A and B are shown apart, each in its own frame.
Chain A
Amino acid sequence: MIPGRFDYHQPESLAAAVTLLSELGDDARVIAGGHSLIPMMKLRLAMPEHLIDLKAIGDLKHITVADGVVSIGAMTTQAELIGSAALADAAPIVKETALQIADPQIRYQGTIGGNVANGDPGNDMPALMQCLDASFTLSGPNGQREVRAREFYEAAYFTTRDDLEILTRVTFAAHGGGYAYEKQKRKIGDYATAAAAVLLSKGADGACSSASIAMTNLADTPIYCEEASSAMIGAGIDATSIETAVKSCLECIEPVDDNRGPAEFKKHAAGMVLKRAIDSAWSRA
């Protein structure tokens, strides 16, 4: 449990960090809260020669809500997400999700940027970001670009982020209506056996006017369930429509056997968790 040798860098501006990363290339890794990277380094599954710590870059730590758009700096911790009144008002599902990540100690250290950028299928924020249709801002040697969360994840630990890019910010529209993040886990601190993020709005006619569903740790990427989401719109939410939505979502996931149980069980648990999330979101819509 001792990592290999590495040099530690702490640039004070984003420009300096991008330059450093360009110079050091493949031998360097950017570190935010470190809760994914450091355990990998201790197991020597990751052996970067350089760590570029983003914590001294003040620009990367912010939560702003303006004109219905939420912008969160990559170095904002889960605890700060939980503590933000503005965020709780604009997007309460973020707080509900962040509260289900690990434990308070880890939430003081773990960041939203690290959580979404690493591509770990066990992380909770990626599915949430897909549910919110968030965008990620990436800064690299060729400047800045935006990528939708729904197009960011390719496979476990593989994303569309170039190795020389740094994820600096997530943005998404404030959500109205009902919301829920439901997670089944074996214990505090564990990754999800199955988890689901659900946003539902109720129109004046009592029918569902908008829907978005995404799921965590049930494939090698987060799963945004586009078909199920759009199928719910325009109809009432009842046992039959929930059953249909769940069935549709379960067709998108590909869980694998692990110590949490075999895929067959996870599919069943995913259905339960999703039902719970839809019920909860609709009750709040």
Chain B
Amino acid sequence: MNAEAKTIEERQAALKGLGTSRKRVEDARFTQGKGNYVDDIKMPDMLFGDFVRSQHPHAYVKSIDTSAALEVPGVIAVLTAKDLEPLGLHWMPTLAGDKQMVLADGKVLFQGQEVAFVIAEDRYIAADAVDLVKVEYEPLQPLVDPFKAELPDAPILREDIADAKEGAHGARRHPNHIFTWEQGDKDATESILSSAPVVAEEMVYYHRTHPCPLETCGAVASMDKVNGKLTLWGTFQAPHVVRTVASLLSGIAEHNIRVVSPDIGGGFGNKVGVYPGYVCAIVASIVTGKPVKWVEDRMENLSSTAFARDYWMQGKIAATPEGKILGLWCHTTADHGAFDACADPTKYPAGFMNICTGSYDIPTAYLAVDGIYTNKAPGGVAYRCSFRVTEAAYFIERMVEVLAIKLNMDAAELRRINFIKKEQFPYQSALGWEYDSGDYHTAWDKALAAVNYKGLREEQAKQVQAFKAGETRTLMGIGLCHFTEIVGAGPVKNCDLLGMGMFDSCEIRIHPTGSAIARLGTISQGQGHATTFAQILASEIGISADDITIEEGDTDTAPYGLGTYGSRSTPVAGAATAMAGRKIRAKAQMIAAYLLEVHDNDVEWEVDRFVVKGAPERFKTMKEVAFASYTQAIPGVEPGLEAVSYYDPPNMTYPFGAYICVMDINVDTGETDIRQFYALDDCGTRINPMIIEGQVHGGLTEALAIALGQEIAYDELGNIKTGSLMDFFIPTSWETPDYVTDFTETPSPHHPIGAKGVGESPNVGGVPAFSNAINDAFKAFGLTHTHMPHDHWRVWKTANDLGMHA
């Protein structure tokens, strides 16, 4: 069939644009083992670096003897802080305005900290030599509990800044105190708490965990001494930021640094920061003149590169006896580990924790966050969530449940009467955000109906009776969650990383024969950008997604962008893509009009072509226009068909969702069985429903892991207890339940195509849903709240504490 014979619908379908469940173009290479990850990079004469790490959580480093290591054949050098100091690289800045030791400078502050960097001809020699580096330590008292950080006998961790009264985020009241961040109206909130008829209180702990991507972090640095150019391949979620930081740190001019993110095997926030391994690989390459690879192993990944969460959230929520919420108060003790290396926009030391009023119309609120140093690994990244949004969502969704218990009210109904109403959007929250759009009541009612909520509650009541009658040892929990996210950071006026505004970008070139390449400032780590960004563009410019190449991750070719994390790719780079596409279309319209010999305004866009108004048989396809742009002299129009757009979003986007988890719980063994999980997501305009479903499945499974067992735990001496996959819980298909996904579609009013982002919603909403199910099951037996992770023994302990084993 020729193009002319096709109907509009057929032409639309052929584009594979917005709303199409187009198969992922990346999968052909990933499923055949043909991906190209950083550890696949092999270069002639490439050396390998490996770290000597501290076994002590807190100690002075008295001496480092590298002589035995240097005698191993094949060992090139061993770097210590002394070697980096003349270059000013023994410390490096963190994204949170603090600094972090690259190699131990006189002391170590967490178990697993980098002490020395062995450079050898291969990784096996390096590992042997690591064993031979002798480090003499003088152990110091470790600080593990953040609530003991400011006691009189607490050890001082950061002696380098012990006397600094001011930090990057204001006053510090103690050497182990990093910052206090306050939002909202303290006096008004406390006044409401003191006068409200009902106040519920709870300490909600979101434990320390880790993103644990399948591929660990790594880099290959290659300094070409002939042309002075440094090339750095690595697991970077923000390659352009890495380039700028590398330039500022090393003094190498930015045009002489090329940063490449090859295929990345999952990031989930773990690959946003800059790590000592990157710095050491660069220095080692400069020193040796050879390419140097550093790739961490799984235990190094879990114990030293960025962790997530570790927020102790003390909450108070005030309401009328009828359940109308009057005020919310939260004080968070944030355990940031040894260095403040949280990956948040600069002005937000606790990320967007002030989204903690959630989906509810809470007139008055106050949030304070105290950042604290402890002898634990640094990090505090957004593990499959926007900055601290999962902590915020967990906090409010637990507090609403706690309030429902206090009010003796159904928790679904309590949510319903407090939701922000559809007509209230754009909604100004008490803690400073402007929610763009939402229709929470519709989503909630749809979710409750889908699971037959009333029927579930009746069944649960019967189960409780059966349990009390001794007929069963299984409880049933119904976990509710209605979450609101804040993603798409962000407007340059208030969002930056190390000063770089958090815009993003897209550059499009249409080739003469009507296919195209688009390059973006983001980088996929499994999200499927090569598939979905082509779909956005296909709908904008009328070229099939199959004819559009998407390229990201090479700073020499891609336009500057701030990378991929915090569900920002679609809200920001996706918007840039649509805007650049519109520039293409605007120029193409002039060309089409010229070719059709009519005025510019006499043609109109129709799917993949410009049509003369009132004469549908007269048209020029985008493909024809593209060809003409390269082959014809068109008066007043430059040759070629290219566009670039840098998009500074006017606001964040606010995806939301309604999740319901039904769980059966054996009170004697602590085993849990997820009977049903329903997930309704509203991410605005849906680009690729199949990818959305995959994203939701993946995020829910990570949420399940976190809620039911995944943790980075330290003993009281500061030893990491869960440093391998033996103990760090990664669910397999066996532990993963079936998920039912659903949606409503409330477009973002300010985004060019109305999209909001979805990759992180399931983690944000999933964790409270799973945890609420556990808590809900024990509610009838007197439980108000029990902390995650809900692994077998902790569930058993909850039952035991409630006297259920007597």
Which residues of A are in contact with B by a Cβ distance under 8 Å? 1-2, 4-5, 44, 103, 184, 186-190, 193, 259-262, 265, 268-269, 272-273
Contact = CB atoms under 8 A, between A and B. Distances in A.
A268 B805 CA distance: 9
Contact of B721 (A44, A186, A188, A259): A259
A2 B794 CA distance: 35
Nearest to B299: A1
Contacts of A103: 732
Interface of B: 123-124, 127-128, 131, 297-299, 666, 668-671, 709, 713, 721-722, 726-727, 729-732, 734-735, 791-794, 796-797, 800, 805
A186 B709 contact: yes
The 8 closest A-B pairs by CB, nearest first: A261-B793, A2-B127, A1-B297, A265-B793, A188-B734, A259-B727, A188-B732, A272-B668
A260 B131 contact: no
A2 B793 contact: no
B643 to A, nearest CB: 48
Nearest to B735: A187
A98 to B, nearest CB: 16
Given A2-B127, A5-B128, A268-B805, A261 B732 contact: no
A1 B669 contact: no
Nearest to A265: B793
A174 to B, nearest CB: 31
Contacts of B735: 187-188
Given A103-B732, A193-B792, A265 B670 contact: yes
A187 B731 contact: yes
Contacts of B299: 1
Contacts of B127: 2
Given A259-B722, A265-B797, A272-B668, A1 B727 contact: no
Contacts of A262: 793
A265 B668 CA distance: 9
B670 A269 contact: yes
Contacts of B666: 272
Nearest to A5: B128
Nearest to A42: B297
Contact of A260 (B298, B734, B793): B793
Contact of B668 (A5, A44, A193, A268): A268
Contacts of A272: 666, 668-669
B669 A259 contact: no
Q: Which of A2, A189, A269 has the most CB of B within 10 A?
A: A2
Contacts of A44: 131
Contacts of A184: 669, 671, 792
A187 B792 contact: no
A273 B669 contact: yes
28 contacts: A2-B124, A2-B128, A4-B131, A5-B124, A103-B732, A184-B671, A186-B709, A186-B791, A187-B731, A187-B734, A187-B735, A188-B732, A188-B734, A190-B726, A193-B792, A259-B722, A259-B727, A260-B792, A261-B670, A261-B793, A261-B794, A261-B796, A265-B796, A265-B800, A268-B669, A268-B800, A269-B668, A269-B792
Contacts of B726: 190
B71 to A, nearest CB: 15
B131 to A, nearest CB: 7
Contacts of B298: 1
Contacts of B805: 268
Given A4-B128, A268-B668, A272-B668, A261 B729 contact: no
Nearest to B728: A259
Contacts of A188: 732, 734-735
B796 A269 contact: yes
B492 to A, nearest CB: 42
Contacts of B800: 265, 268
Nearest to B705: A187
Contacts of A2: 123-124, 127-128
Contacts of A265: 670, 792-793, 796-797, 800
Contacts of A1: 297-299
Given A261-B794, A273-B669, 12 more contacts: A1-B297, A2-B124, A187-B731, A187-B735, A193-B792, A259-B722, A261-B670, A262-B793, A265-B670, A265-B792, A268-B796, A272-B669
A194 to B, nearest CB: 9
A273 B298 CA distance: 33
A185 to B, nearest CB: 9
A107 to B, nearest CB: 14
A67 to B, nearest CB: 39
Nearest to B666: A272
A259 B299 CA distance: 16
Contacts of B669: 184, 268-269, 272-273
Nearest to A260: B793
B666 to A, nearest CB: 8
Q: Which of A5, A44, A259, A269 has the most CB of B within 10 A?
A: A259
B709 A187 contact: yes
B184 to A, nearest CB: 39
Nearest to A269: B669
A255 to B, nearest CB: 11
